[in-house]
Amino acid sequence: MKIDILAFGAHPDDIELAASGTLLHHSNIGLKIVAIDLTQGELGTRGNATLRLQEAEKAAKILGLSARENLGMADGFFEINENNLLKVVEMIRKYRPEVVFANAVSDRHPDHGRGAELVSRACFLSGLVKVETNQQPWRPKTFYNYIQDRGLTPNFVFDITPYWPKKLESIMAYSSQFYDPKSKEPASPISSKEFKDFLEARAREYGRMIGVEFGEGFTSERPIGIESVLNLK
């Protein structure tokens, strides 16, 4: 399948929390988008692997994804090694995206930065003819990292104002992970009632940078080329 955007997350819900508004826009204009979760999030304080897979499928429908896959790497323990690099290369070559999104380059959870480096390296390796996967080589045109818990300075901000309610819906598809006054599971850094306020504040902060209500921030490994300064906010 030839798609437009391939989004990677170390855990189910990473993509929704940090980049779902951007994906919703591009899905809405007819682009083909696929999400790949590296792990099942089995070490999460709340829920379990089976439940999180079900939640990920629910979120995929809300986002209008063409497909979603899980690579089954070990949550908290996956490493940047040949086996895991080849798993990601296979996904890149399978879907042949123009654009790849991945985790934040540095974050509170060590899986995020490690996942970012893993996907970045795989994007390069995927274009090498002598890397054998029984697939044709493919290197994405661009690679960007979304911003997660830590407030990094973005290289660009995408206006997600029209998609804010739908973004929240995709996040709340992971009902096991977020605030539920009836839940008897242990508290986690994202299960507090105030976490939703943090998400809104972050989106408003990035939106304010470009003069809109809500935004999502991204960083880039290389300078971003533009075709017209008149199209910039």
Q: Is residue 9 part of a domain?
A: yes
What is the average per-residue pLDDT within 159-167? Answer: 98
Q: Is the pLDDT assigned to residue 182 strictly greater than 90? A: no
Give the residue among 78, 80, 54 at the shortest CA–CA distance from 68. Answer: 54
* Residues contacting 153, CB < 8 A, separation 6+: 219
Q: Is the pLDDT assigned to residue 51 strictly greater than 90? A: yes
pLDDT for residue 142:
97
| Domain CATH number, residue 77 | 3.40.50.10320
What is the average per-residue pLDDT within 157-171? Answer: 98
Domains identified in the chain, total number: 1
Q: Among positive and negative, which fits the CA dihedral 154, 156, 162, 166?
A: negative
pLDDT for residue 141:
97
Dihedral, CA atoms, 33, 102, 76, 189, nearest 10 degrees? -90
What is the average per-residue pLDDT within 142-149? Answer: 97
Q: Express each pLDDT in 111-128 by its tens digit.
A: 999 999 999 999 999 999
Q: Is residue 12 part of a domain?
A: yes
- Residue 189 — very low, low, confident or very high, per pLDDT cuts 50/70/90? confident
Q: Is residue 227 part of a domain?
A: no
Q: Is residue 228 part of a domain?
A: no
How does the average pLDDT of the chain come out, rounded? Answer: 96
pLDDT for residue 29:
97
Q: Express each pLDDT in 18-39 by its tens digit.
A: 999 999 999 999 999 999 999 9
Q: Among positive and negative, which fits the CA dihedral 172, 178, 206, 107?
A: negative
pLDDT for residue 233:
85
Give the residue among 25, 29, 35, 28 at the shortest CA–CA distance from 5. Answer: 35
| % the chain with pLDDT above 90 | 89
The residue range of the domain holding 124 is 5-221
pLDDT for residue 95:
98
- pTM over 0.85? The answer is yes
pLDDT for residue 231:
86
Q: Is residue 226 part of a domain?
A: no
Q: Is 228 left (phi over 0), alpha (psi -120 to 50) or beta?
A: beta
